[in-house]
């Protein structure tokens, strides 16, 4: 991975944005057809991209380097309504004709960020859609296509294309990474991250930073509580919950600020559908463009009538497995002569089963969400994440609830929490670093030995040039194709979600959790940055306007933490001893009232803190006003033109 | 009130939209100045309206009839961005140039509804603002004006103008009313109401109709429950609560549909400020127009730091008064020799005190809200209503809570509920009909005797014509000036709010409440219609996009009803007897769990039922898309024009 390797030579070619790796089994004519699709003109259904093939000597699979000229990128940016700040500082849709309003003509290749260029090229690749005469993938009658289906997505689905991945810009990633892991908390890096990795990942890092800062208050409180008598517990719990609520409300605000600055705040479910959206080509009701159309009620029907019951069943199943493991453990404990390690066996088996269930369920949930056929990527992500997290919730928290409220063994709960928190950090850090590295090196070494039986396919493809085998991008493509892809920040968010649960759900029992979470997150920021730059394939940049399902899920967890904490407090022996005069019922009633007050407070905070800061509201209102005025003006002009033409006609007739 | 009286003669004048009644104490020069303001040109700060004076013989106060030509109204409609359906059925801002796109030129006076015309004329009257040299109201140095203050609003405030009221269109009101009270439930009337009374009142009737329909399920359940054993109580309560939740969620949807059709859905807090908004004239950040500006944080500061504590104090005060009345009653009961009627005296005194407190508090809340200086009428209404209802809540429900949960006398609670429900209906119907009629006839007769000492003022005013004393509008103005003004539907909403509380908060105790409410509302619809058409001054039409604060207040009441019903169920002796095996605490726990399930269900329903129906979302997205495209086009044209002018210049230079 030498960044400057032969750099001088490549200046004449545009850099590779996306690499398409074909599968070994693909037929020559299919591969050739796909190459034509990528390079062909728009009229013939092509993408008009610049494609070069990886030299046959260096790889066994056919690798295509896809790129695009700077001029074409600007045109695409206009087409895709990329928003940029003009020279007056107004954020608006970029237009090629007005290039100089946005940037000096000499620097025009710097107008679009690396992430935007990648998104534009990827959009073109994915937007190669089946024409009406293309009933199936060429050469594979068993793989049907419907009109308007994204061909590349279909090939990926049928495994004719092995992977489509963006290439790291080694120079840029070094520059960004270098300063980044050194000073993690510096706000300035977020903009670099966004420019290189796109909004989705930048938002994750913003969230991580914001959340970690918010953890400071509970951390300090956790320490204080070790010194103070346990009667103050209730007080600390209340402050913790208010902290969590405030954090989520303020994050909402922050999020809309970021979305405004990034130009993604106006994303809606009426945006262009994602490539895998199944539908009949038709005129879009909103834009009038020709896009795949599918009735939304079908999606709702599938969601509520099929997916929801199935997900609930899976959750109940997972809960059953948990109960069964507890039951077996109890059973074993009752046998007097059994050795100690056998008693712990059910826990270990359960842990393994959970991992396996998760693997299966993840595929199942992805399949269900795909089948529900959501129109936009944001909708798809939201529903997939919700399904996954509901299941994860059972696996991660149900055993703790069982210990806390059924067995009511507070000591065991505290012990379990501490263990799980540490386990979570270790396992995740392992999964994030060792696992991708291992896969990478294992794949590299196993592939290197195999030789290149498919050399001929590479040489038989015509119509595109071969990259100079000395080009550093050849080496990069080979390096990075065996790296593990980074699909989306789901796992990273999940880690924070589970941690948030451990910290806030049981803060009445284990107040130090916040501190350990804080310490972990501090290092997590650096590790996440490092792994993204070095251990994974470059992620596909994605535009997002908020944290999607996570926002609601964290909120739900926060609401739940009000209940669990109040319940834990009511069960706390220390508090109970401090007020012996209460009857059982009225003691219990106190905490029900406390809970209701806290829930009401959450609602009040929700109403009192507006989702968007004032300046964002004003900016949005201004944009709306301007465009409404423009529409009025346009109608007036049109009307005038009509009158003019009528007058002209009348005059001519006279 | 003869509708067709001398109608032929008045065809030549536009009908009177608004009547301005001056106070007796006003000086001649001030009245003359105001007349000039109303009739003067825009350049001189006038309103360019047509004004005529009521003949001096028929009235003691100076009455001005304010009207406007049809052409001018259309211009104002364009200026105020009134939205109308064009011939293609697209709802968009009306423009005079395109009149024929909206309606045949011959019918142009039918384009705007009666309510819209009234709103436009009123806006012009209120929009007469103090110029920079007008430091005070002419002739009254003690009444200062700030630059940009609405002069008419100031005169109303200083009581120089007695009232500003719209004139009923007797013919139209007869036509609308006639068919309306005969077939109350007919959906078609709502459009007539909107056209005559405006959106605010039409929305109230829509809400009343929707709510009454929703009451049918609880009514039927109430009857069923009389037959079935009391153990089924819990089941009925749960269905009742789900009904109430669904009703509120669906109303939200319905509301956004109506707002879209009425063209009010895009109303925001950035719209033109209401006349009483205090601010320094400045360039509006959104529209760039010259409008009064005031920093919003001051309003927030006033709201949270002053109003909120004061309102809470008032609520505590009212609660204290209630407790005191209960305490006195208890005390009296303990004296053995006291006669029965003395024991009830505290209740009667308390009822009178509540009425008095309400009167004082209403003025206080209005003052506070005015002082908070909200920008738009919707904001003002929302905060005023919230303040008022919080106080009303204490007065209407706290005594019931006290009986239910402190005394825990379920029989007394049922008795009180039945009494209060009937009292509520009787008092309200009295207040709505007898009160305005009595005031009207009392004022009329007392005024008629006084003679006309202010005749001279009327004859001294110059610059405007006198209306023909035979004109039927002279008679109408005289009739209607003594009628009670109908400020806003606050009292009507409040009645429904209290009723909603009686029905749903305690449905576990008095399930028949829903039926009686249903019966009452059925007649209420007719009565409300009749009173608006016949007993009150014509209300000022107001554009609204939703029920504002009421939506949230009803929702809060619904959330509260989950809690009260669960608590009542847990206290119910019938249920307790049916399950004697439970311990006190675990019995109680059951209902806490039930409550949490219901609260969660409410949240889920809230998320699952979108605020706007699909078609409204699509229509809004389409509008946004079109205007964004227009803005793009405008920029391109501008850019082209720039290039053209540069080219031209270069060519000229050559």
C-beta separation of B638 from A95 below 8 A: no
All residues at 6 or more sequence positions from B506 whose CB lies less than 8 Å from its CB, including other chains: B400, B404, B413, B417, B513, B564, B565, B568
- Chain B partners of A589 at a C-beta cutoff of 8 Å? 588
Which pLDDT does position B35 carry in this prediction?
A: 92
Handedness of CA B502, B508, B509, B514 (dihedral sign): positive
Determine, for residues B630 and A634 on separate chains, whether the beta-carbon distance falls below 8 Å.
yes
> Does B268 contact chain A (CB < 8 Å)?
yes
Task: Retrieve residue A365's tokens.
Answer: 């949930």
**pTM (global) more than 0.80:** yes
Which pLDDT does position B454 carry in this prediction?
A: 55
pLDDT tens for B278-332 read 888 889 988 888 888 999 999 999 999 999 999 999 999 999 999 999 899 888 8
Backbone angles phi, psi at B506, to 5 degrees: -120, 30
Assign 3-class secondary structure to B220-249: HHHHHHHHCCHHHHHHHHHHHHHHHHHHHH
All residues at 6 or more sequence positions from A360 whose CB lies less than 8 Å from its CB, including other chains: none
Q: Which long-range contacts (CB under 8 A, 24 or more apart) does A73-82 make?
A: A73/A112, A73/A117, A73/A120, A73/A121, A74/A99, A74/A108, A74/A111, A74/A112, A76/A120, A76/A121, A76/A123, A76/A124, A77/A111, A77/A112, A77/A116, A77/A120, A80/A119, A80/A120, A80/A123, A82/A112, A82/A116, A82/A120, A82/A263
Chain-centroid distance of CA A179 in Å reads 24
* Residue of B280, B571, B528, B550 lying closest to B407 (CA atoms): B571
Determine, for residues A614 and B563 on separate chains, whether the beta-carbon distance falls below 8 Å.
no
- How far is the alpha carbon of A93 from chain B, nearest alpha carbon, in Å? 8
- How far is the alpha carbon of A584 from chain B, nearest alpha carbon, in Å? 7
Alpha-carbon span B93 to B270, nearest angstrom: 18
Which pLDDT does position A546 carry in this prediction?
A: 93
C-beta separation of A31 from A62 below 8 A: yes
Average pLDDT, chain B: 87
Report, as ranges of residue numbers, the positions in chain A whose pLDDT lies below 70: 1-13, 57-60, 183-185, 446-456, 654
Which pLDDT does position B3 carry in this prediction?
A: 37
Alpha-carbon span B526 to B205, nearest angstrom: 10
Q: 């004061």: which residue's tokens?
A: B310
Which pLDDT does position B184 carry in this prediction?
A: 66
Task: Retrieve residue B556's tokens.
Answer: 């809060």
- Chain A partners of B591 at a C-beta cutoff of 8 Å? none
For residues B20, B21, B22, B25, the Cα torsion angle rounded to the nearest 10 degrees is: -170
B134 versus A648: the higher-pLDDT residue is B134
Name the residue facing B630 among A286, A563, A627 (closest C-beta). A627
Which of A627, A642, A646 best tests the B interface by mutation, with the highest count of B CBs <10 A?
A: A627
B484 SS3 class: strand
- What value does the mean pLDDT take over residues B590-609? 93
Handedness of CA A441, A447, A450, A452 (dihedral sign): negative
Vertex A429, ends A423 and A432: CA angle to 5°?
135
Determine, for residues A584 and B584 on separate chains, whether the beta-carbon distance falls below 8 Å.
yes
Assign 3-class secondary structure to A412-455: HHHHHHHHHHHHHHHHHHHHHHHHHHHHHHHHHHHHHHHCCCCH
- Does residue B10 have a pLDDT over 50? no
- How far is the alpha carbon of B632 from chain A, nearest alpha carbon, in Å? 8
Determine, for residues A636 and B296 on separate chains, whether the beta-carbon distance falls below 8 Å.
no
Which pLDDT does position B386 carry in this prediction?
A: 96
Which pLDDT does position B478 carry in this prediction?
A: 83
Question: What are the Cα distances from residue A611, in Å, to A100, A248, A616, B648?
Answer: 35, 11, 10, 50
Which pLDDT does position B382 carry in this prediction?
A: 94
Task: Retrieve residue A180's tokens.
Answer: 């980044």
pLDDT tens for B308-323 read 999 999 999 999 999 9
A511 SS3 class: coil
> Does B105 contact chain A (CB < 8 Å)?
no
Which pLDDT does position A386 carry in this prediction?
A: 96
Which pLDDT does position A184 carry in this prediction?
A: 66
A and B: number of Cβ contacts within 8 A: 100
Vertex B439, ends B433 and B443: CA angle to 5°?
150
* Residue of A177, A42, A126, A130 lying closest to A542 (CA atoms): A126
Which pLDDT does position B11 carry in this prediction?
A: 44
- Give strand pairing partners of A144: A136
All residues at 6 or more sequence positions from B16 whose CB lies less than 8 Å from its CB, including other chains: B52, B65, B66, B67, B167, B473, B477
Helix then strand then coil, in percent of chain B rounded to 5, is 65, 5, 25
Task: Retrieve residue B528's tokens.
Answer: 């409300």
Percentage of chain B lying above the pLDDT 70 cut: 95
- How far is the alpha carbon of B397 from chain A, nearest alpha carbon, in Å? 19
C-beta separation of B46 from B128 below 8 A: yes
- How far is the alpha carbon of A179 from chain B, nearest alpha carbon, in Å? 39
C-beta separation of B277 from B372 below 8 A: no
- Chain A partners of B592 at a C-beta cutoff of 8 Å? 592
- Chain A partners of B639 at a C-beta cutoff of 8 Å? 95, 97-98, 101
- What value does the mean pLDDT take over residues B622-628? 89
Chain-centroid distance of CA B107 in Å reads 32
- Other CB atoms within a 10 A radius of the CB of residue A490 amount to 18
* Backbone angle region of B125, left / alpha / beta, with phi > 0 → left and psi within -120 to 50 → alpha: alpha
> Does A563 contact chain B (CB < 8 Å)?
yes
Task: Retrieve residue B622's tokens.
Answer: 């389409």
Q: 């989950």: which residue's tokens?
A: B562
Nearest CA in chain A to B586: A585
Which pLDDT does position B84 carry in this prediction?
A: 86
Element holding B432 (H helix, E strand): helix B410-450
* Backbone angle region of B463, left / alpha / beta, with phi > 0 → left and psi within -120 to 50 → alpha: left
Which pLDDT does position A58 carry in this prediction?
A: 52
Assign 3-class secondary structure to B317-384: HHHHHHHHHHHHHHHHHHCCCCCHHHHHHHHHHHHHHHHHHHHHHHHHHHHHHHHHCCCCHHHHHHHH
Which of A586, A621, A640 best tests the B interface by mutation, with the highest count of B CBs <10 A?
A: A621
Burial of A202 (0-12, 13-18, 19+ CB in 10 A): buried
Burial of A445 (0-12, 13-18, 19+ CB in 10 A): exposed
Which pLDDT does position B339 carry in this prediction?
A: 83
* Residue of B55, B56, B38 lying closest to B47 (CA atoms): B38
Determine, for residues B621 and A588 on separate chains, whether the beta-carbon distance falls below 8 Å.
no
Question: What are the Cα distances from residue A296, in Å, to A272, B382, B611?
Answer: 14, 35, 16
- Chain B partners of A635 at a C-beta cutoff of 8 Å? 92, 95, 98
Task: Retrieve residue B361's tokens.
Answer: 């508090």
All residues at 6 or more sequence positions from A356 whose CB lies less than 8 Å from its CB, including other chains: none
Element holding A246 (H helix, E strand): helix A233-262
Task: Kindly write down the DSSP assignment for every residue of B289-310, as one continuous string.
Answer: -EEEE--HHHHHHHIIIIIHHH
Task: Retrieve residue A607's tokens.
Answer: 């109403």
> Does A101 contact chain B (CB < 8 Å)?
yes
pLDDT tens for B18-47 read 999 988 888 888 999 999 999 999 888 888
Kindly report the length of chain A: 654
């Amino acid at each position: 991975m030498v960044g400057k390797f032969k750099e001088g030579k490549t200046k004449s070619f545009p850099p590779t944005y996306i690499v398409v790796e074909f599968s070994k089994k693909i037929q020559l004519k299919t591969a050739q057809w796909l190459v034509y699709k990528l390079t062909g003109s728009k009229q013939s259904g092509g993408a008009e991209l610049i494609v070069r093939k990886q030299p046959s000597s260096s790889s066994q699979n056919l690798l295509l380097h896809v790129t695009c000229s700077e001029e074409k990128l600007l045109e695409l940016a206009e087409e895709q309504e990329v928003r940029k700040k003009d020279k007056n500082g107004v954020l608006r849709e970029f237009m090629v004709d007005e290039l100089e309003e946005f940037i000096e003509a000499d620097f025009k290749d710097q107008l679009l960020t690396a992430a935007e260029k990648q998104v534009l090229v990827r959009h073109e690749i994915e937007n190669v859609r089946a024409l009406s005469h293309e009933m199936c993938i060429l050469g594979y009658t068993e793989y049907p296509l419907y009109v308007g289906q994204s061909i590349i997505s279909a090939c990926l689905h049928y495994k004719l294309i092995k992977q489509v991945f963006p290439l790291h810009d080694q120079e840029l990633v070094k520059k960004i990474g270098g300063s980044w892991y050194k000073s993690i908390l510096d706000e300035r890096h977020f903009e670099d991250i966004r420019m290189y990795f796109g909004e989705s990942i930048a938002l994750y890092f913003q969230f991580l930073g914001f959340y970690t800062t918010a953890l400071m208050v509970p951390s300090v409180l956790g320490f204080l509580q070790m010194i103070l008598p346990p009667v103050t517990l209730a007080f600390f719990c209340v402050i913790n919950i208010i902290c969590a609520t405030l954090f989520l409300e303020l994050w909402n605000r922050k999020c809309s600020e970021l979305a405004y600055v990034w130009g993604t705040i106006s994303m809606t479910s009426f945006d262009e559908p994602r490539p895998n959206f199944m539908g009949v080509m038709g005129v879009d009701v909103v834009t009038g463009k020709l896009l795949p159309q599918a009735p939304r009620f079908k999606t709702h029907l599938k969601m509520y009538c099929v997916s929801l019951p199935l997900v609930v069943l899976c959750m109940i199943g997972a809960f059953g497995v948990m109960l069964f493991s507890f039951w077996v453990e109890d059973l074993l404990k009752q046998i007097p002569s059994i050795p100690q390690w056998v008693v712990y066996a059910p826990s270990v088996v359960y842990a393994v089963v959970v991992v396996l269930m998760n693997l299966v369920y993840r595929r199942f949930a992805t399949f269900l969400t795909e089948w529900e056929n959501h129109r936009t990527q944001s909708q798809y992500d939201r529903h997939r994440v919700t399904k996954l997290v509901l299941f994860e919730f059972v696996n991660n928290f149900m055993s703790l609830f069982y210990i806390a409220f059924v067995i009511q063994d507070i000591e065991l709960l505290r012990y379990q929490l501490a263990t799980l928190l540490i386990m979570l950090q270790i396992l995740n850090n392992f999964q994030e670093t060792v696992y991708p590295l291992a896969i990478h090196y294992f794949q590299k070494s196993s592939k290197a030995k195999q030789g290149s039986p498919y050399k001929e396919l590479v040489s038989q493809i015509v119509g595109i040039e071969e990259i100079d085998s000395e080009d550093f991008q050849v080496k990069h493509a080979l390096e990075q194709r065996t790296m593990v892809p980074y699909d989306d920040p789901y796992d990273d968010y999940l880690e924070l979600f589970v941690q948030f649960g451990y910290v806030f759900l049981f803060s009445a029992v284990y107040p130090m959790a916040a501190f350990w979470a804080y310490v972990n997150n501090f290092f997590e920021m650096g590790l996440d940055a490092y792994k993204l730059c070095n251990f994974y394939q470059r992620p596909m940049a994605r535009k997002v306007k908020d944290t999607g399902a996570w926002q609601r899920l964290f909120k739900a967890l926060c609401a739940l933490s009000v209940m669990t904490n109040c319940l834990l407090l009511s069960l706390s022996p220390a508090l109970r001893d401090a007020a012996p005069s209460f009857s059982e019922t009225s003691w219990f009633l106190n905490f029900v009232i406390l809970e209701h007050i806290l829930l009401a407070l959450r609602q009040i905070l929700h109403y009192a803190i507006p989702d968007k800061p004032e300046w964002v509201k004003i900016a949005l209102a201004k944009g709306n006003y301007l465009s409404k005025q423009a529409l009025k003006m346009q109608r007036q002009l049109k009307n005038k033109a009509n009158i003019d033409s009528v007058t002209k006609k009348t005059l001519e007739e006279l």
